[in-house]
Amino acid sequence: MNTELTKRFLKYVSFDTQSSEEATKCPSTEKQFALAEYLRDELTAIGLTEVEMDEHGYVYASLPANADKSVPTIGFIAHMDTSPDCSGANIKPRIIENYDGSDIVLCKEENIVTTVSQFPELKEHIGEDLIVTDGHTLLGADDKAGIAEIVTAMTYLMAHPEIKHGKIRVAFNPDEEIGAGAHLFDVEKFGCEWAYTMDGSEVGELEFENFNAASAKILIKGCNVHPGYAKGKMKNSCIIASEFQALLPDNERPETTEGYDGFFHLTGMSGTVEEAQLSYIIRDHDSEKFQHRKQVVLDIAEKLNTKYGQGTVTTEVKDQYYNMLSQLQDKPQVTDIAKRAIEEACGFCNVVPIRGGTDGAQLSFKGLPCPNIFAGGLNFHGRHEFVPIQSMEKAMMTVVNICELVGLTPTLSKREGE
């Protein structure tokens, strides 16, 4: 067991860094600054250079090159915030050594149990050392495992100068969980030819395809009349809202899809007879299907307006992010190096599509090619989150392997110009 890596991770999860979707500032919560300041000081103490924390809590640092030739500058990125979906305060992690494959009792008093029947992925980690919660908070492996892996990889490289590498940049950002982590990321300051987010899940996974994403807000205006005299007059916005949902494909929801399947996800609904609101997220890997899904929402609104009167249903559809594959498919070196590094660390590499998005997707469209690599945690955003220490160790060695492999590789710009 890598005690340095484990100790570092346990320290990071002691910080409550839950972000907030309600905020209009960055970071969305002041408490994220506490971890940012700690990381700034830690990176300085371990000997990294160009350490800086900006006014929004973004932390940047460098490990100077030690190679005797020109080598690309690359970067590694992880986010500091945890999900608004579950409390991140007063996390009480526990290490289960040599996990035996049985159900894990998180809190005996309240009968909170992570069962193998509900979470069969536990079977893949029998014999490993698992870090779990006490059943009342999330763990924070998303993405403090990624931070711990990156920082520990930097100390490993400094302790092994025989591994030749170029300049390595690291960055830790706020607000990824609310989709804003890349918004104020300074790509020019970061100064990398490409980078990797350490924000994936199961060991051995590499992701460089993600959903195209949009949000949809539906506002429905009704007409309230005393129910005893409502015939031919009342227009119940809640009923119309239910009709809107019923007109969407029934088998294209998150709970019925997997792999490359897209979906419509109803994330919220509220209303009275007079007015109702529906909130959706729309997802698809395929850009043409993504455009079609957005049009489906608009077409349903028009159909209901024809039925109930123009202006009854109004829609606001906004794109959120796009599939990074379009930005990476002509840069095979970036993903090829990651595949080889993962294979050396894990014995295999499993390329999977992200059924979501990462900061890397937005950064790729800002000019920084940025695939996503596993960090090892599972069951993110809830009390059943856990991370095998051995998976974190393999992720940390993947970072080291990438740095070493890039040290043997010509620059991306040179390759493109060949």
| CA-based nearest residue to 354, from 327, 374, 329, 330 | 374
Instruction: Give the separation between CA 124 and CA 105, rounded to whole angstroms.
Output: 18
Residue 416 confidence (pLDDT): 43
In the predicted model, what is the mean pLDDT of residues 339-346? 98
Instruction: Give the separation between CA 64 and CA 140, rounded to whole angstroms.
Output: 30
Q: Which of 81, 142, 143, 359 is catalytic?
A: 81
pLDDT of residue 51 exceeding 60: yes
| CA-based nearest residue to 149, from 55, 78, 54 | 78
Instruction: Give the separation between CA 59 and CA 37, rounded to whole angstroms.
Output: 8
Residue 357 confidence (pLDDT): 78
Residue 415 confidence (pLDDT): 38
> Residue 418: pLDDT band by 50, 70, 90 thresholds?
very low
Strand blocks (E) in 29-90: 49-53, 59-63, 74-79
Residue 411 confidence (pLDDT): 53
Residue 69 confidence (pLDDT): 86
| Token code pair at residue 193 | 């030819």
Residue 336 confidence (pLDDT): 96
pLDDT digits (tens, 9 = 90+) for 119-157: 999 999 999 999 999 999 999 999 999 999 999 999 999
pLDDT digits (tens, 9 = 90+) for 241-266: 999 999 999 999 999 999 999 999 99
| Residue 176 is among the residues annotated as catalytic for this protein | yes
Q: Going from the N-terminus, what domains does the chain have, and what CATH number goes with each?
A: 3-209+324-417 (3.40.630.10), 212-321 (3.30.70.360)
Residue in the block written with tokens 């059924």: 355
Q: Which of 16, 129, 143, 176 is catalytic?
A: 176
Hey, what long-range contacts does 39-42 have (CB within 8 A, 24 or more apart)? 39/80, 39/147, 39/151, 39/172, 42/151
